[in-house]
Structure 1
C-alpha cells in the first residue's frame, strides 16, 4: 500500500520525491515503491462566487445585498482543474492507504490541502508533515515524525474563518461601493485600514507648518553640551539666547555631577518575515513582495534558509543540537569570523533566543545545515542570505559593551548635559562603530564659556515606505507576515495607492474611498479584534462558527451604512477624451501592460492603449527599441526617432532561439508565479473584471 503525499508546489514535490526514493515521473505526480508524491499549484480551489449560490446575485444590484450564503462551498479554480482531476484519480486508487499533507506548514498551507481532500472526498487516514526547512535531513526527520492531521484541525478552522470572513466583508462592501458610486471601489477588512494608515501620515504632512527655533550648546574640547529645557523649542528668537548668555557672563560654569553606566547589548534575535522585509526595504529598497520572493527561493530552490513565512524571532530548544552544523554550513560566508566562534566553543551566547513558548507555527529565520553554493545565488539572493547569516552569527558572540557617561554642568540654575561613550567590547557588532575621543571631566571643574547658538527648523513627518508601513501593520495585527506583501500590492493594483521612489502615497481615488467606506473599516480596531479571534480559533479557544456569525452581523451593518450614505463621488480617472464608438468619456486605467483608455459606458467595450507599446525590436538605424502601432491594416513596428517602420512578424513564424539569459529570466519568472494569489484576491479580481 502507498502514501499519497500532497505538496504545495511541483518544486517541493520533486524534493520530497527525491528524498523518499520516488523516481517514476508522470505529468501530475512522481511515484515510488511506497509513495505517490503529487502537488497543488498554490490553491487549486476557492470559495464559490455569489452567482454559484443564487442566480439573483449574478447582477450587481444594491437590493441583493448583503449576500450571505446559508452554507459556504468550494469550487475548482479554472486554471488548475487538470491537476485537481489528477489528484482525485490518485486518491481513489485502490493501493493508496493514506494521505500525507505536505503543504506549507501554516494556516494557508493547511487550507490548500484540506480543501483538496474535501473536494475529492478522501475518507482514508490523513497525516501531517510539519517541517521548517526543505533540506534532505529535515524532510527525512519529518517523515519519521508524521502527526495525525486531527492535531491541526483548529489551524484549519482558523484558515476557513479567515477565508469566509474576507469573502463576506470583501465582496459585499466592494459590491455595495461599486454599485452605489458607479466605479470599481475595492474595500476589505485589512486593506482599507492599511490604506488609512498611509493617508493619516499624509494628512500630518499636509497640516505641518515649519517652525524656526534656537538652541544653545556649550562646547568643550570637541564635545557639545546641550542646554536642558522642558520644551526643546522654547526659544523662538535668537535675541532671547543672547540675553541668557549675557546673564551668565562672568559666572563660572562648574561640573556638578558625573554619572557613568555600563550598558550590555545582546545580539539581536533572528529575523521574522516582517522585520526581514522592513530591513530589505530600508537597505535595498526592495518591496515586501520582492523580499518574500527572494527568501522563498533561498528556502525552496537553494534550501539554505528555514521557512520564511514566520512571525516568530525565537528558536525552540530542540534546535540547540543543530546549531554547530548550521554554523559549519555558513563558513563560506565569513571564514575568519566563523572559525573564531568555533575556537570559542561554538556555543550560543544569546541564551534568550531559545524560548519554546514564544515560537508559534515556526521559529525565527536562520540558515539550514546545508552549505550554500554561492555561484548559484544571484546578487539579490546573496544580499538577503548575508543578512540572515549575520543575524545568526551574532547569537554566538559576546554582547556589545559600552560605558556611557553623562556630565552635568551648571551655571546660575541653567543645566548643560555632555554625553560620551567608550566601547569596552565590540562583541557581535564587529567593530562597526567609530571610536570617539574621550574627554576627562572632574566634579567642580570649571568649563570655559564657549557658547554656540544654533538655528533649527522643525521637519515634517516622513512619508511611509513599505518598511514603515509593514511595522504599522504588524503593530495593529493587520494581516499576517505571509499576506502583508499581497495586501500592499493589491492596494497599488487597485489604483488606491501609489509607490514612487520607495515612498507610498494615496491616490485621489483612494482618498475618496476612505471618506465613502464605513468608519469602522477605516480604523484598525475592528480588524485587530478579528485577527485576535482568528488566533484564538487556531488555539482551540474560540468556535469558528460563532466567529462567522459575528462577521455576518458586521457585514449586514456595513452594507446598511453604505446604502444609507448620502456622500458624493467624483471619478478622477475620467478624461476629456471621447469614445469613438458611443460618445461617452474615456476612463484612464493602469494595467500591467501600461496605461489604457476604456469607455466609461457599461455597455461599450472600447479600449485602447494610452501610449504606444515599446517592443524589444531594435531599430536598424539607431538601435533603439521600436514602438508597436496599429492601423486598419494591422499592427506594425515604428521607431519614433527615425520614423522607420517594419512589419510585425506573422503569428505563424517561429521565434528565434532564446538566449541563455532570456531562458534563465523566464524560468525565474515561472518559479515565482508557481505561488498563486489567494482565492479571495482571485475572486475579487474576477468580480471587478466583470464590472
Structure 2
C-alpha cells in the first residue's frame, strides 16, 4: 500500500477520485493499493518558549532570560487537529504501507507541512513527491507518473524551516525585548515590523505634506499647437516670462519623433493578481488568495501561490487550447471587429519559471456553469481568463512627438502621441469594462498626450499668445493593498543590480504577504479605511520607538533573498540562522534596558463618543465598543455587518450624526448585494436604513 498525504481534505478527495478510490473511512480514503489522507494545513509548528523552560511563560518576561535560542528545536502538535496527526502517524506505521507520497501544496510551506508530520512521527519509510501545478485529472496523472524522491526537495524544506526559525527568533526575542523595555505588550515580526514601518512612513509623508504653488507659461501658436514652459516656482519670474512672450514671434527649433512599443501584459502571478483584484473589485489580498485557492481546489485555475508570470515551452499546446476554451466560455471577450490572433510564444520563458508557472485557467471551466460560481470566485476567474487573452495579443505601437518652440530665447515644449498599431489595447479596451469592477482608472490609463499638428524645424509664428497656469504639487497617496503589495515586492531593490540573477524577493513571499497585512490589522497596528491602509496610533507609536535595524525593509529583503538562495543550494541554512542569532544578540545588547523616557502611548484609538454613557468608543479587532467594557454600558458596533467591513470613518460618522453615509455592498443571506445606511436606533442598537429608490435592492454586478 502507498499512503498519499494531501494538504486539505478537498485536495485528497480530488486525488482519490483520479486514483479511482471511493472507499471512505474516518479521516482517509482507501482502495486500489492506496490510502489517501490529509492534513488541515499546519498540524505541527515550532514549540513556544515555555516548552523549553517554564521561566519563559507569558507574564514572566525578564531581560535576563534573553536571548531565547534553542540548541535543539522542539515541535508541538496543534491541539485542535491532534486527532488527525495521530491518524496520519498510525497510517504511516501500518504494516502494509511501504511507501509514502507527499502530495501537499508544491511549495515551501507545503513541504514543511508534510515534513513536520513525517519527522515528528519519526517515520523512516521511503517518500516520493507529487509535484503539480494543477488539480486537473490529467495533471495529477502526469504527476504520479513523474514522482521524484522527496530528498530532491531537501533544499526547499531547509529554506522553509529556516524561514520559520528566523521568524520565531526575531518574533519571540524581539517582542519580549521591546515589551519589557517599554512596559507594554509589543509584537515584533521579521516581516511584519518593516511592513508596518512602510505604512507609517507613507502616512507621515501624506499628513505632513505641504503643497507648493508653481506656475507654467503656455504659448498658443495659432495652428492648434500649444506649448508650455518648465515649472516656475517664483510667480514674479512667471509674470515676467508671460509679458515677455505675449505677442512676440516664435520658431520651432526641434522636432523629435520616435516609434515606441508597449508589450502585452504578462500573465498573473499571485501578487499581480491580488493587486489587480484590489484595483478592480476592492478585494483584500487575503480575499483574492482565498478566492483563487478555492478555484484551484475546484480545478478551475492552476496553482495560485506562484511568483512567475510565464509558462514553459512544454505547455504551449495546453495554452493554445485554453485560449480557445476561454473564448468559448467568455464569448463577449472577443468582438468581430477586433483582429485577435493569439501568440502563445509571448507567454513562454522557461528561465523565468521556478517551482510553478503563471496562474492560468484550466480546461475544467468549460464543464461548469460560470454563473453559479460565488461572485468573488467568478470575478477572479474572469480576470485570470482575460489576462490569458491579453497576454497573447500583439504589441501596441505608437509614435511619440516632442516639439520645442523658442520664443525670446526661452524654450517651450509639447508632447504628443499617435497610435500606429493598436495591438492588444483594442482587446483590453473591449474586455475591461465587462469585468464591472469598482475602479477602472488604471485600465483607462490617464494620458494627456494627444496628436499634435504636423510641424517642421524652422517653422515660425509671427505672434503668439501667452497665458499663465497655476498649479500645486500633489501629496503622495496613502497605501492601498494594491500599492502596498507592490512596495513589499520591491523593498530593498535600490541596492541590487538590475540583472535577473540578483532579483530580490522583497518583504515576504507571494504566499505570505496577505497574511502579514491581516496580522497587522488583527494586532491593531493598522486599519482599513475604505481601500486605504492607515496606521493606528498604536502602530505609529511602535515604529517611533523600535530601532532602524528592526524596521528596515532592506535587511528583511536581504534575508528573503538568502532564503531563496537556500532553495537553490547557493546559501547555507546554518549560516543564515547563525546570522539571525547574531542579529538578535546585538539587539539585546543595545536595547536590554527599560526606557522610562520615551513617553509613547500604545493605547487604542477612539472613533467617537459613546451615545449611551458618554465615554469613548474604542476600536477593537472585531468591533467599535465603549471603553466601559462588558461590565459597563455594553454599547457596540460590530465591524462586520451583513458581509461588509465597517470602517473607522463610517463608525465615526454614525456616532456623530446618528447615521452613516450610504454604504454599498452589504449581502443578504442569499448572497444578494444591497446598499444601505447604518442607523443608530433609540435603544442604542445598530440598524439599517434603506435608500428610497429600488436601485438599492437590485443585484449589484
Pairwise TM-score range, normalised by the shorter structure: 0.7 to 0.9
Partner of 1:185: 186
Partner of 1:264: 261
Deviation at 1:223, TM superposition (A): 5.4
Aligned mate of 1:430, from 426, 433, 437: 426
Unaligned runs of 5+ in 1: 577-584, 600-605, 618-638, 646-691
Deviation at 1:91, TM superposition (A): 0.8
Asked if residue 554 in structure 1 is aligned to residue 552 in structure 2, the reply is no
Deviation at 1:222, TM superposition (A): 8.5
Please state whether the residue corresponding to 2:471 is helix, strand or coil: strand
Deviation at 1:643, TM superposition (A): 5.4
Please state whether the residue corresponding to 2:306 is helix, strand or coil: coil
Deviation at 1:538, TM superposition (A): 0.9
Q: Is the 8 A contact 1:221 1:439 kept in 2?
A: no
Q: Is the 8 A contact 1:573 1:589 kept in 2?
A: no
Partner of 1:441: 455
Aligned mate of 2:484, from 444, 466, 469: 469
Deviation at 1:343, TM superposition (A): 9.2
Distance 1:67 1:482, change over 3 A: same
Deviation at 1:93, TM superposition (A): 1.0
Asked if residue 359 in structure 1 is aligned to residue 350 in structure 2, the reply is no
Please state whether the residue corresponding to 1:116 is helix, strand or coil: helix
Deviation at 1:552, TM superposition (A): 1.5
**TM-score (structure 1 length as normaliser):** 0.81
Which aligned pairs between 1:447-466 and structure 2 lie closer than 5 A? 447=461, 449-466=464-481
Q: Deviations over 1:410-457 (max 9, x none)?
A: 222222222222212211111637995652223333345132211111
Distance 1:519 1:336, change over 3 A: closer
Q: Is the 8 A contact 1:106 1:361 kept in 2?
A: yes
Alignment partners' CA distance in 2, 1:569 and 1:14: 56
Partner of 1:390: 386
Distance 1:50 1:298, change over 3 A: same
Please state whether the residue corresponding to 1:70 is helix, strand or coil: coil
Which aligned pairs between 1:43-442 and structure 2 lie closer than 5 A? 43-58=42-57, 59-220=60-221, 225-229=226-230, 232=231, 234-237=232-235, 239-301=236-298, 303-335=299-331, 346-348=342-344, 350=346, 353-372=347-366, 373=368, 374-430=370-426, 432=429, 439-442=453-456
Distance 1:347 1:241, change over 3 A: closer
Please state whether the residue corresponding to 1:430 is helix, strand or coil: helix
Alignment partners' CA distance in 2, 1:222 and 1:485: 54
Q: Is the 8 A contact 1:176 1:562 kept in 2?
A: yes
Unaligned runs of 5+ in 2: 430-443, 492-505, 607-614, 643-678, 686-701
Q: Deviations over 1:565-597 (max 9, x none)?
A: 534344442799xxxxxxxx9996613355475
Please state whether the residue corresponding to 2:252 is helix, strand or coil: strand
How many residues are aligned here? 602
Alignment partners' CA distance in 2, 1:65 and 1:436: 64
Partner of 2:671: none
Alignment partners' CA distance in 2, 1:15 and 1:249: 76
Q: Is the 8 A contact 2:623 2:636 kept in 1?
A: no
Distance 1:598 1:190, change over 3 A: farther
Asked if residue 590 in structure 1 is aligned to residue 586 in structure 2, the reply is no
Partner of 2:14: 15
Distance 1:215 1:165, change over 3 A: same
Q: Is the 8 A contact 1:215 1:455 kept in 2?
A: yes
Distance 1:331 1:221, change over 3 A: farther
Alignment partners' CA distance in 1, 2:684 and 2:283: 39
Please state whether the residue corresponding to 1:41 is helix, strand or coil: coil
Q: Deviations over 1:222-273 (max 9, x none)?
A: 85644343xx2x2431x53332233234542122332222122221111111
Alignment partners' CA distance in 1, 2:222 and 2:551: 54
Alignment partners' CA distance in 2, 1:456 and 1:292: 41
Partner of 1:526: 555
Alignment partners' CA distance in 1, 2:234 and 2:135: 62
Deviation at 1:613, TM superposition (A): 6.7
Q: Is the 8 A contact 1:255 1:444 kept in 2?
A: yes
Alignment partners' CA distance in 2, 1:60 and 1:346: 62
Q: Deviations over 1:595-615 (max 9, x none)?
A: 47589xxxxxx8778524779
Partner of 1:25: 24
Partner of 2:503: none
Partner of 2:650: none
Q: Deviations over 1:67-98 (max 9, x none)?
A: 11121011101101011111111111111111
Alignment partners' CA distance in 1, 2:99 and 2:545: 52
Aligned mate of 1:484, from 513, 526, 530: 513
Alignment partners' CA distance in 2, 1:491 and 1:571: 18
Alignment partners' CA distance in 1, 2:534 and 2:570: 39
Alignment partners' CA distance in 2, 1:278 and 1:570: 34
Alignment partners' CA distance in 2, 1:551 and 1:598: 43
Asked if residue 542 in structure 1 is aligned to residue 571 in structure 2, the reply is yes
Distance 1:616 1:307, change over 3 A: closer
Alignment partners' CA distance in 2, 1:173 and 1:598: 32
Alignment partners' CA distance in 1, 2:567 and 2:274: 25
Please state whether the residue corresponding to 1:197 is helix, strand or coil: helix
Q: Deviations over 1:620-671 (max 9, x none)?
A: xxxxxxxxxxxxxxxxxxx9846599xxxxxxxxxxxxxxxxxxxxxxxxxx
Q: Is the 8 A contact 1:216 1:454 kept in 2?
A: yes
Moved more, 409-418 or 183-192: 409-418
Deviation at 1:383, TM superposition (A): 2.2
Deviation at 1:102, TM superposition (A): 0.7
Q: Deviations over 1:489-539 (max 9, x none)?
A: 111111111211111222221122123223201111221221121111111
Distance 1:197 1:451, change over 3 A: same
Please state whether the residue corresponding to 2:561 is helix, strand or coil: helix
Moved more, 336-345 or 21-30: 336-345
Asked if residue 514 in structure 1 is aligned to residue 543 in structure 2, the reply is yes
Q: Is the 8 A contact 1:596 1:607 kept in 2?
A: no
